[in-house]
A = this chain, B = another copy of it.
Amino acid sequence: MVTITDKTNINYSELLKRPVEYNPEIRVSVQEIIEKVRVQGDSALRLLTKKFDGIDIDRFEVDEQTIASSQNQVGENLKAAIEIAARNIERFHSAQKVSDVEVATMPGVSCKLVYRLLERVGLYVPGGTAPLISTVLMLGVPAKVAGCKELIVCTPPPVNPIILYACSLVGAKVFTVGGAQAIAAMAFGTETIPRVDKIFGPGNNYVTEAKMQVSAMGIPIDIPAGPSELLVIADESAIPQFVAADLLSQAEHGADSQVVLISNCNSIINETLDEINKQVKNLPRMNIALKALENSYAIKVETVERAIEISNTYAPEHLILAVASPEKYETMIKNAGSVFMGNYTPESAGDYASGTNHTLPTSGFARSWGGVNLLSFTKTITYQSITPEGIQELGNCIVELANAERLTAHANAVKLRMEKLSNQS
């Protein structure tokens, strides 16, 4: 980790730039993949799955029996853990329901905002050696709570039975296709994979690029994704052993992850760095963590307030407040995905089981984006209902504005109604 001392003239948005390696080749090949799938559907998916996963797939959808039998391949302790996590996520997201809004903006003019669920959502679950159970829960449980009718999970073959088990809990259909081709399939639909209303989920550079490209075609996505990141603000009351463990839990995600420690206390910084050196040695993913630490910073500041100022500029995905009274600073936090309050709230709690969603904005997107929440699975429709009295009230206002914008037919539609009413009376 690079250690520095705060100066007012430091440009932190420059200094703490995320380590991005932009690859134009990825953009082009993803464009090609999307076009192939859009035009050729399943046959393109078969070729691409053969090419990228080295597997011949006849039927992409995992049959119910295979899904059902998955429960025999999951240990009891893990099942219990999944149940607790799912229940906490369910509780927190259920509480996020909002009610429709109806207002009479003036006599005879009633307006209504209605929240409607998205009928069919697509959830991408990355493959690899470790089954990302938490991804299924963090997307599938809120989708169920929102009332989405169909959950479509795409995940590269071969699919781990633990993933199938988690999918069975949220009632998702599972299709064994991964990568950019899976995103394209959900965006446009194929003979076997239905087109979805919105696409959620993490993935590698190809998946992320594919999500951005289909979003530019109007298919909504959860949030733009990037390498994971954590910023910890620690005062003298912080416990270096914990802070080090939290920083490492983020650093082990990937070589391109970034962690930042900001403290008003030199000894906390030094002890944390020592602890990191101790703890990292015992990690199976030590090399990944060490690489991530190269892009990482420890910053000495004068006050916690200044630390939060810097954090707001950085807009971290995860922010830990390892300080004496974190609640004091809660409202000062302007830009962050999810905040972890106090010494006994590790980031991994939010990654798995506290109940908050772990699908969060990275790369500074927290300035504009929030993480996935219940409303991410809904859309709105507005209604208005105007009585004859109402249009007589409001009519002249509409005509005046329509004429100012030189839209005569807009004015006519109102005038005709007003005339008919005045003729009647």
Contact = CB atoms under 8 A, between A and B. Distances in A.
Interface stretch (A150-158, A263-271, A396-404): A396-404
Given A212-B216, A373-B380, A401-B353, A413 B245 contact: yes
Contact of A382 (B109, B129, B132, B339): B339
Contacts of A401: 78, 81-82, 85, 133-134, 352-353
B116 A92 contact: no
Contacts of A106: 84, 88
A338 B407 contact: no
A342 B420 CA distance: 15
B397 A352 contact: yes
Given A130-B407, A348-B410, A404-B162, A354 B394 contact: yes
17 contacts: A78-B404, A81-B397, A81-B404, A92-B101, A92-B103, A92-B111, A95-B113, A133-B404, A215-B215, A218-B363, A241-B416, A242-B413, A339-B381, A339-B382, A341-B386, A356-B382, A370-B379
Interface of A: 77-78, 80-82, 84-85, 87-88, 91-92, 95-96, 98, 101, 103, 105-106, 109, 111, 113, 116, 118-119, 129-134, 162, 197-198, 212-213, 215-220, 224, 239, 241-242, 245-246, 248-249, 251-253, 279, 282-285, 289, 326-327, 330, 333-334, 336-357, 363, 365-371, 373, 375, 378-388, 390-391, 394, 396-398, 400-402, 404-414, 416-417, 420
